[in-house]
């Protein structure tokens, strides 16, 4: 290892003069209430744009990676850990933050909305909005939401990520509504259940959900082993997928 004096000299010579920036993370948190796709927003607590609606975010601390920061910020705002989290892209236009140059790493997160509701109610003044009926957001956050939605759709067409938004026990009709919401399309019931069955990812339970009909719909749960094993496989879950 070089001495810190040598390191300092090198740094002065080589890296000095390069600009330094703030680096933040912003999370697009998706949830599903059984009927519609929703997104979790917070009222921004600092200037500029204080009290405007914004994505959940924060600065990347000195001792953490962006992934760490996203998980920390999510835990703080939802109380949840181990959430499905995926990097979207970096947002780095020089003027995107009017106060000072800040690059933001966008993430999208999928959570079981029920877990969220029970865990805490109003400790952090976050609020769920219908994805199609949300307030205008600060900075480039609307662009981030648009990008995240697109990526969610893309990813969900190929990989079974939407299960992350469902409770442990769910029914096929519930699952189908979620797929229809995400893809903004109607899907044929018969073809859908055939496709879902053929993945082999679901285990049928004895219990039924009778809230939606007299007959009731059987609950299913994920086969975790197969889920983890097949996650990277291409499933082609959406029929006739348009770009």
Q: How far apart are the first and last CA of the chain?
A: 52
From the CB of 19, what's the least distance to a copy of itself, in Å? Answer: 5
70-99: which residues touch a copy of itself (CB under 8 A)?
A: 87, 89-90, 92-94, 98-99
162-201: which residues touch DNA (CB under 7 A)?
A: 171-173, 188-191, 193-195, 198
| Binding flag, residue 205, DNA (CB under 7 A) | no
Give the phi and the psi of residue 40 in degrees, each rounded to 5.
-100, 125
Region for 59 from its dihedrals, namely left if φ exceeds 0, alpha if ψ lies in -120 to 50, beta otherwise: beta
Contact 102, 55 (CB under 8 A): no
| Binding flag, residue 63, a copy of itself (CB under 8 A) | yes
User: Quick one: which of 20, 136, 214, 225 contacts DNA (CB under 7 A)?
Assistant: 214
CA triple 144-56-59, angle to 5 deg: 95
User: Quick one: which of 7, 120, 130, 203 contacts a copy of itself (CB under 8 A)?
Assistant: 7
9-48: which residues touch a copy of itself (CB under 8 A)?
A: 10-11, 13-15, 18-23, 46-48
From the CB of 150, what's the least distance to a copy of itself, in Å? Answer: 10
User: Quick one: which of 33, 67, 127, 180 contacts a copy of itself (CB under 8 A)?
Assistant: 67
User: Quick one: which of 9, 76, 168, 210 contacts DNA (CB under 7 A)?
Assistant: 210
CA triple 146-183-140, angle to 5 deg: 5
Q: Tell me which residue of 44, 13, 12 sits closest to 26, measured CA to CA.
A: 44
From the CB of 130, what's the least distance to a copy of itself, in Å? Answer: 26
Q: Which is nearer to a copy of itself, 51 or 119 (CB)?
A: 51
For tokens 């390191």, name the residue: 7
Question: What does 215 bind: a copy of itself, DNA, none (CB cut-off 5 to 8 Å by kind)?
Answer: DNA
**Helices marked H in 109-140:** 113-119
Question: What does 5 bind: a copy of itself, DNA, none (CB cut-off 5 to 8 Å by kind)?
Answer: none
Q: What is the DSSP letter of 36?
A: S
| Binding flag, residue 221, DNA (CB under 7 A) | no
Q: Alpha-carbon distance 9 to 15, whole Å? A: 10
What is the chain's length?
Answer: 243
């Amino acid at each position: 290892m070089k001495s810190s004096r040598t390191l300092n000299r090198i740094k002065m010579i080589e890296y000095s003069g390069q600009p330094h920036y703030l680096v933040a993370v912003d999370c697009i948190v998706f949830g599903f209430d059984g009927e519609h796709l929703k997104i979790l927003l917070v009222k921004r607590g600092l200037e500029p744009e204080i009290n405007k609606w914004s994505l959940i975010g924060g600065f990347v601390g000195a001792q953490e990676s962006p992934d760490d920061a996203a998980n920390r910020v999510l835990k703080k705002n939802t109380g949840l850990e181990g959430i499905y989290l995926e990097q979207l892209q970096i947002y780095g236009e020089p003027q995107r933050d009017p106060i000072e140059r800040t690059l933001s790493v966008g993430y999208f997160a999928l959570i079981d909305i029920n877990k969220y509701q029970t865990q805490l109610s109003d400790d952090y003044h976050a609020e769920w909005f219908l994805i199609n009926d949300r307030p205008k957001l600060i900075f480039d956050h609307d662009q981030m939401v648009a990008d995240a939605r697109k990526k969610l759709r893309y990813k969900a067409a190929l990989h079974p990520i939407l299960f992350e938004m469902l409770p442990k026990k769910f029914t096929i009709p519930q699952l189908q509504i979620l797929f229809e919401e995400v893809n903004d399309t109607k899907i044929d019931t018969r073809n859908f259940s055939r496709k879902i069955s053929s993945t082999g990812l679901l285990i049928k339970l004895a219990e039924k959900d009778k809230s939606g009909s007299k007959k009731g719909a059987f609950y299913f749960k994920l086969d975790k082993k197969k889920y983890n094993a097949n996650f990277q496989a291409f499933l082609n879950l959406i029929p006739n997928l348009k770009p």
